[in-house]
Amino acid sequence: MKELIQNFNSQLKEAFIIAEKSTISTTSVGIKNIVVTGLGGSGIGGTIVSELITDFCHVPIIINKDYFLPAFVNESTLLIVSSYSGNTEETISAMQQGLSKKAQIVCITSGGKISELAKQHLTEFVEIPGGMPPRSCLGYSLVQLINVLCRKGFAKQLLFQNIIEAVALLENKNSEIKTEAKKIAEKLNNKIAVIYSFGTCESVTVRFRQQINENSKQLCWHHSFPEMNHNELVGWTSKNDNLVVISFHTSFDYDRTKKRYEVCKPIFQKHCSDVIEINAQGNTKLEQFLYLINIGDWISYYIADIKNIDPVEVKIIDYLKSELSKF
């Protein structure tokens, strides 16, 4: 996993080349809504890109993480099917429904059943390199998603070009990112992370939670401002030294929401063992998102390293799949 995280920049560069060479059309006639269907490491890219294009996209975009598609899906839907392995059973089910509903489909996968269905039904299709843990291949899927939405006119073309600038930032900050990540990991060892962000980058905290779950093999939770002010805040009523708050910040955070955090921070400090703030670097929203994603990935790896466990291993998921295959 260490090598895979270290190669994130190279992966983004390779993904950029794959996207440039892809044959995805610019046709978007009649599209009235967008659904990105995918789960886990394959699906998180959709969650991230939906926030990246929210200020530009002129049609609704829904992220689907289930066997079934929303009832509104029809021939006016752009359905983006994202499955790294191509064999995610929930995503296969959703794609089959999309085919029956005559949705306009684009597939992003390394092969498997999704690839077979794409070729059989002549849907648009981008093939990415396979053979790695899906969560380590976010760069491949995210860049393809950005490219598809740019080509179809639902994201600014500049967003695709921002990928190159983001790579340069991550390369320049590589040592700094790893140093900070290691220090934070030491503070999180044997602690439960409570991860907060503002509504502008909740997807980044979802990714971080998933990485701690899979790489670090431990539980945590996340929430976002201002929503947490209307429910979770009430739960901060007693001291718990097992909790550490980690908050993600970008330069795009809304001022009023930042004031909410400033009011809540002393409450967190009173009831947990530490409050850690991670401030994104970079000029564009994409740069800042990828910076936070990269430091989060490193934190999850360093926690696993401190615990002396294998960050790649996911035996419990393998067990789940084995049991499901019996039905």
Please give the positions annotated as active site. 214, 230, 321
What phi and psi, each to the nearest 5 degrees, are found at residue 187?
Answer: -75, -20
**Is the separation of the CB atoms in 94 and 69 below 8 Å?**
yes
Structure tokens at 231: 């429910």
Strand order in the sheet with 192-198: 220-225, 192-198, 243-249, 274-279
The one-letter code for the residue type at 240 is: N
Nearest to 280 by CA among 224, 201, 211, 222: 201
**C-alpha–C-alpha distance, residues 88 and 149, integer Å:** 23
Alpha carbon of 270 to those of 27, 177, 224, 244: distances in Å?
55, 28, 20, 11
| Amino acid letter, residue 298 | W
Residue 70 burial (CB count, 10 A): 13
* Distance from chain centroid for Cα 84: 13
| Residues, the chain | 327
Nearest CA-CA partner of 48 in 145, 155, 170: 145
- How far is the C-alpha of 174 from the C-alpha of 48, rounded, in Å? 22
Residue 124: φ, ψ to 5° = -65, 145
61-64 β-sheet, strand order: 61-64, 33-37, 77-83, 104-109, 124-127
Cα dihedral across residues 170, 286, 232, 297: positive or negative: negative
